[in-house]
């Protein structure tokens, strides 16, 4: 898997759903059929030269080193960290590149990832007052869009936002809406 190095990992955002963000991956393996904002910005600022390059994600090899330095400096200022504001951090299963991310991190750091269960992770995040789970504003906006597009009879757009809601919540109500709107 190709890698890049960065000078910093955590940076302050101007968005309402996360005061800091980190992008430990550059690019996205999904290959969406519409021009995504993240790709257009990466191209504009010279991070990638083409869409083909964008669809071959690269891992930031010094992520853990940067976080070891930056978290202690910023821990009093961080309320929440938005993971991968410019890519999908959950591409596992999409390409061989994406599949090798965790293996690569383990090999490069020469240490095993901690074996924590979800409850331990929640406790650690709560102890440091870091938001855990799906951002409520994202859910509210997605729900408003799904309702709007359904009312306007834009079924594809309504299905998209209902699928986002179902993916984030696993709520059967959203699954039923998807089924009612058809495939």
pLDDT tens profile 120-160: 767 776 776 666 666 677 788 889 989 998 999 988 888 88
- What is the number of helices (H) and of strands (E) in the chain? 9, 6
Token pair of 128 as six digits? 């440091």
Confidence of residue 112 (pLDDT cuts 50, 70, 90): low
Considering only 40-44, 109-113, 146-150, which range has the smallest mean pLDDT? 109-113
pLDDT at 136: 74
Sheet holding 20-22, edge to edge: 10-12, 20-22, 81-83
Give CA–CA dist 173/169, Å, rounded. 10
Token pair of 119 as six digits? 């409850």
pLDDT at 119: 75
Task: Provide mean pLDDT across the span 76-88.
Answer: 81
pLDDT at 97: 52
What pTM did the predictor assign? Answer: 0.51
What's the chain's average pLDDT? Answer: 79
In angstroms, how far is CA 41 from the centroid of its own chain?
16
Which of the 8 DSSP states describes residue 132? Answer: -
Task: Provide mean pLDDT across the span 79-86.
Answer: 80
Token pair of 29 as six digits? 């393996």
């Amino acid at each position: 898997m190709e890698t890049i190095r960065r000078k910093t990992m955590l940076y302050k955002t101007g968005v309402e759903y996360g005061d800091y963000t980190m992008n430990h991956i550059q690019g996205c393996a999904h290959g969406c059929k519409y021009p995504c904002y993240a790709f257009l910005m990466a191209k504009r600022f010279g991070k990638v030269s083409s869409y083909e390059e964008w669809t071959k994600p690269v891992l930031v090899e010094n992520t853990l080193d940067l976080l070891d330095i930056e978290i202690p400096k910023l821990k009093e200022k961080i309320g929440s960290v938005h993971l991968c504001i410019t890519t999908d951090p959950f591409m596992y299963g999409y390409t061989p590149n994406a599949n090798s991310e965790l293996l690569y991190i383990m090999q490069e750091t020469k240490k095993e990832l901690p074996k924590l269960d979800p409850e331990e992770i929640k406790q650690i995040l709560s102890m440091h007052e870091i938001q855990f789970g799906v951002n409520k504003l994202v859910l509210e906006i997605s729900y408003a869009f799904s309702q709007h597009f359904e009312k306007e009879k834009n079924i594809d757009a309504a299905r998209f936002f209902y699928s986002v809601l179902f993916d984030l919540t696993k709520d059967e109500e959203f699954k039923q809406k998807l089924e009612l709107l058809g495939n």
